């Protein structure tokens, strides 16, 4: 059965209405057969493809070369002609490039605005801004804000906070008033700072009393507080920490002669603040436990290395 909705008999194609045109029967008199197309293709005739560029865009090679060498650029219409819409070959690529250029310009402006303060928030209004033309801020309020921000980041001694206020040009009387108030309420406590410093640095880094005292003095802790804090460190605990350090370092010195191993171990303990007497005793114990001959012999325990 044939019909307009089923296509020609024996033909393969869609079965929807109007998919095949009504063609006259080939045997009917006067019927014209469709164009069979080019020989050997077996396909019906097709309409010639039209160029995307219209007739106005066609140009002789000689004319195109003359226009190119004269600086006028390729002649044509639409994006393929280049011009202000981007490079030849399509407006999509030109649009993408323009968007990248705009985004890059915005990013550079954002980077400049962020890096203008060196990566740190200012302590007051930016110079030249409307806020900077107002009345000066209360010096004590500025000092409180600076101290609170520093104490939020990490514990500080009174001397460290005083130095920070001095660098920010806070008046001395305002800085002293704020530091005194912070000490009264317990926000500044050099004794607690020194005790916590000795405990954490000895447990984490294996530092001895001499090195711990030097670090506390460098942070502005007074001498009496330093002596009290390092005096709480048990001498037996300090010796046990030295033994652990030597045992850990001893494995990396195997293969060296005993004298070189002793020098390296002694240097490591000296950098951590251990005295020569304790260092000599701990190193000799470790070498004897390993079965290595003692290179120091009967050296003076208080001056074993020279």
pLDDT digits (tens, 9 = 90+) for 118-161: 455 555 667 777 655 656 678 999 999 999 999 999 999 999 99
Distance, CA of 159 to CA of 199 (rounded, Å)? 21
Distance, CA of 120 to CA of 299 (rounded, Å)? 56
The verdict on residue 221 lying in a domain is yes
Distance, CA of 273 to CA of 250 (rounded, Å)? 18
pLDDT at 37: 54
pLDDT values of the chain reduced to their tens digit, one per residue, 306 residues: 444 455 555 555 555 444 455 555 555 555 555 555 555 555 555 555 555 554 445 556 666 666 666 655 554 444 444 444 444 444 555 556 666 666 655 555 554 444 444 455 555 667 777 655 656 678 999 999 999 999 999 999 999 999 999 999 999 999 999 999 999 999 999 999 999 999 999 999 999 999 999 999 999 999 999 999 999 999 999 999 999 999 999 888 888 888 888 999 999 999 999 999 999 999 999 988 887 665 555 444 554 444
**Domain shared by 208 and 253, yes or no:** no
What's the number of domains the chain is made of?
A: 3
**Domain shared by 246 and 285, yes or no:** yes
**Domain shared by 241 and 286, yes or no:** yes
The verdict on residue 244 lying in a domain is yes
Q: For position 220, which CATH number holds?
A: 1.10.10
The verdict on residue 203 lying in a domain is yes
The verdict on residue 295 lying in a domain is no
pLDDT at 255: 81
What are the C-alpha distances in Å from 157 to residues 219, 238, 302?
7, 25, 35
pLDDT at 234: 92
**Domain shared by 249 and 279, yes or no:** yes
- Parent domain of 246: 235-290
pLDDT at 84: 46
User: Which residues have C-beta within 8 Å of that of residue 206, sequence separation ≥ 6?
Assistant: 241, 242, 244, 245, 272
**Domain shared by 284 and 241, yes or no:** yes
The verdict on residue 148 lying in a domain is yes
Q: Are 212 and 198 in contact (CB under 8 A)?
A: yes
**Domain shared by 180 and 221, yes or no:** no
Distance, CA of 67 to CA of 153 (rounded, Å)? 69
The verdict on residue 115 lying in a domain is no
**Domain shared by 261 and 281, yes or no:** yes
pLDDT at 142: 93
pLDDT at 101: 60
**Domain shared by 201 and 229, yes or no:** yes
**Domain shared by 166 and 149, yes or no:** yes
pLDDT at 291: 76
The verdict on residue 57 lying in a domain is no
pLDDT at 251: 85
The verdict on residue 216 lying in a domain is yes
């Amino acid at each position: 059965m044939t019909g307009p909705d089923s296509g020609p008999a024996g033909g393969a194609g869609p079965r929807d209405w109007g998919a095949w045109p009504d063609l006259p029967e080939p045997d009917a008199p006067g019927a014209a057969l469709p164009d069979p197309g080019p020989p050997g293709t077996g396909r019906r005739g097709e309409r010639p493809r039209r160029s995307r560029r219209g007739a106005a865009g066609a140009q002789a090679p000689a004319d195109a070369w003359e226009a190119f060498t004269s600086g006028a650029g390729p002649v044509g219409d639409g994006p393929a002609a280049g011009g202000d819409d981007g490079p030849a070959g399509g407006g999509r690529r030109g649009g993408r490039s323009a968007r990248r250029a705009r985004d890059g310009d915005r990013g550079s402006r954002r980077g400049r605005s962020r890096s203008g303060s060196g990566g740190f928030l200012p302590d007051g209004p930016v110079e030249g801004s409307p806020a900077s033309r107002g009345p000066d801020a209360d010096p004590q309020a500025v000092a409180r804000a600076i101290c609170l921000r520093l104490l939020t980041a990490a514990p500080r001694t009174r001397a460290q906070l005083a130095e920070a206020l001095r660098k920010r040009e806070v008046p001395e009387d305002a800085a002293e008033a704020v530091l005194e108030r912070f000490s009264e309420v317990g926000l500044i406590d050099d004794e607690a700072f020194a005790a916590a410093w000795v405990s954490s640095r000895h447990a984490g880094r294996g530092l001895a009393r001499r090195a711990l005292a030097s670090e506390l003095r460098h942070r502005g802790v007074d001498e009496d507080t330093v002596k009290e804090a390092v005096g709480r460190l048990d001498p037996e605990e300090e010796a046990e920490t030295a033994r652990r350090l030597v045992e850990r370092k001893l494995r990396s010195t195997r293969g060296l002669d005993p004298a070189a191993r002793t020098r390296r171990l002694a240097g490591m303990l000296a950098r951590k603040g251990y005295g020569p007497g304790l260092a000599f005793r701990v190193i000799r114990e470790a070498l004897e436990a390993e079965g290595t001959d003692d290179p120091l012999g009967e050296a003076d325990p208080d001056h074993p290395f020279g």
